[in-house]
Homo-oligomer: A and B are copies of this chain.
Amino acid sequence: MAGNAQSYDAEAFPRFGVTVDLTVFTVKDDALHLLLVRRANEPYEGMWALPGGFVRAEADANLDRAAQRELREETGLGFHAQASAAEGEIHLEQLRAYWRQRRDPRPGIEVATVAFIAIGPDLPEPIPGGDAHEAAWRPVTDVLAERVALAFDHQQIVRDAVTEVRRRLEDTLLAAEFVPREFTLAELRHVYEVIWGEPVDKRNFYRKMKSLERFIRPTGRLTSGRQGRPAELFVRTPAELAPGPILRSGRSADTAPDD
């Protein structure tokens, strides 16, 4: 069984197209929203899909860069220089790769995709471009409930991405990516409430976060001009995404809300 593997000529291995697809999340209007584009070209022309496109072997240094470029081209949402992550607007991390035979219906080519999760604080309206006729924020509940049909296997990718975001909210400070660089604990708490779909006690949350000095740091500044007593402003620390339980130590999977 092992021997005849040699009959496969290493110089004649199949060639794939490789794409990147992005699940871009933001919290807007008290709900988790996902960025979708309407496809300008075949296949699935006119259908909603995740923003993304082919990796360019010559122009893209790696997969992350390809994802950044596609997001900028199709939606106008940008990344700042990678070094100044403090001022950078959009968090990006890889989810996983997807391929099965004929996943892309175009004849003569197999296309594998690498899916990414991108997160930003109350992002602006997208500007369609490239392969996108139209770009819009949609509540993730609409997508999960299949109220909007997606091209390719993008429905599955979105399900996986939402699961991953909810999980990482529990054991990292990923929530801080949904909030501006300087934020109040009330704003951070709101992210948890929206994504988990249930209230979080204001007072316990406050103490818990104050105790996580490894993850967030007070700036000393206060909010002003808002209703009520001014709130302390915090910034995330560089180590913010290192693991370590954040909230809900005993939360079990089958109680996860559908909201």
**Which residues of A come within 8 Å of B, CB atoms?**
1-3, 5-6, 8, 10, 13-18, 41, 53-58, 60-63, 72-74, 76, 94-101, 110, 112, 114, 127-131, 167, 171, 214, 242-245, 249-254
Contact = CB atoms under 8 A, between A and B. Distances in A.
27 contacts: A1-B72, A2-B74, A2-B76, A2-B127, A5-B74, A5-B131, A8-B54, A8-B56, A13-B54, A14-B17, A14-B18, A14-B55, A15-B15, A16-B18, A18-B18, A18-B112, A55-B112, A61-B101, A63-B98, A63-B112, A94-B97, A96-B97, A97-B97, A97-B114, A243-B253, A245-B245, A245-B251
B101 A6 contact: no
A15 B49 CA distance: 23
A73 B5 CA distance: 7
B61 A100 contact: yes
A73 B242 CA distance: 38
